[in-house]
Amino acid sequence: MDRKTKPIADRFWSKVSKVGYAAAPDCWIWIGQIDRKGYGRIKNMSKSHSPQYAHRISWLLHRGPIPNDVDIHHKCGNKDCVNPAHLRTIGHVEHSILSNRIWHTTPALELA
């Protein structure tokens, strides 16, 4: 079974490590493709040929469809985390404000 016929759930789980980080042991880390902003990406062949965010696929697999008027926010602050317990829906404007506050006020060494 190639990537085009393998179910998205199977491809998703093949790229997830539930080991986490020392500072965040409950995170499920995406070990597949990571974009330049640090987010996991996976191709969802049933939707389009462009990669989708791995945390959004996690939400879809665990909680169902994502409403159009919300973003999926990482409560843990780890962009490569796909643990559904660490994700929540949030409005676009609130997410933008919160993300800017987090990423522009956290010291660079803490983000590494």
pLDDT 10s digits, 32-74: 999 999 999 998 766 566 789 999 999 999 999 999 999 999 9
Matching residue, tokens 């998703």: 12
* Domain at 8-111: CATH architecture: Alpha-Beta Complex (3.90)
Residue 108 pLDDT: 46
Q: State the pLDDT confidence band at 112, using cuts at 50, 70 and 90.
A: very low
Residue 21 pLDDT: 86
Q: Is the pLDDT of residue 110 over 60?
A: no
pTM (2 d.p.): 0.80
Q: Is 37 exposed, middle or buried (0-12, 13-18, 19+ CB in 10 A)?
A: exposed
Q: Is the pLDDT of residue 95 over 50?
A: yes
What is the mean predicted confidence (pLDDT) over 18-42?
A: 93
